[in-house]
Amino acid sequence: MKNHTQWVQTTLPTPLGDMRLAASAAGLTGAWFVTGQRHLPPDDHMASWPLVPEHPLLLAAIEQLSMYFRSERQAFDLPLDLTGGTPFQQSVWNALLGISSGHTLSYGELARRMDRPAAVRAVGTAIGRNPLSVIVPCHRVVGASGALTGYAGGLDRKAALLRLEGVIPQPF
């Protein structure tokens, strides 16, 4: 994670558990579930970020995520700062932004769309390191057979997000 020393943070309660949101001067840098999330920034980094719940960008992210979880919003309109990743990771995260709500894509298809068909594993690894859960929709990437595979926030959350978006039927 680059430039982490200038970030600010807050916490948002969601139906899937609390999320930690982080922002830099350039945009939203992180949205992670507080518990059960893999690939979090190091604890000493997060501890150094001041809590600034009144930060305008964090407030906008809270509003948009809250609307999303109430099924009142399908897409996000927030400035993003993806510079914490490598150039390849950034390209994958930007490609994820092209998967609209209510749709899924396989890892292989995403790699093909990026003109990197042989890089399926690298694409999958980059997806797993996505620092902006829900907002950069890595939950919309599934296995070649359509099976739910891999999600740094846990497969239960991935299924819940896809149910919210109408991809998976709601349970009775």
DSSP 73-106: -SS----B--TTS-HHHHHHHHHHTTS-TT--EE
Q: pLDDT by residue for the chain (172 residues), tens digit each?
A: 455 668 999 999 999 999 999 999 999 999 999 999 999 999 998 999 999 999 999 999 999 999 999 999 999 999 999 999 999 999 999 999 999 999 999 999 999 999 999 999 999 999 999 999 999 999 999 999 888 988 999 999 999 999 999 998 877 5
Decide the pairing of beta strands 19-23 and 28-33. Answer: antiparallel
The tokens describing 148, both together, are 């739910």
Structural domains of the chain, with CATH: 4-69 (3.30.160.70), 87-164 (1.10.10.10)
pLDDT value, residue 64 = 98
Q: For 8, phi and psi rounded to 5 degrees? A: -125, 165
What pLDDT score was predicted for residue 32?
A: 98
pLDDT at 3: 52
**Catalytic (active-site) positions:** 138
Give the closest residue to 77 by CA, choosing from 91, 63, 88, 96.
63
What pLDDT is recorded for position 2?
Answer: 53
Question: What's the pLDDT score for residue 172?
Answer: 57
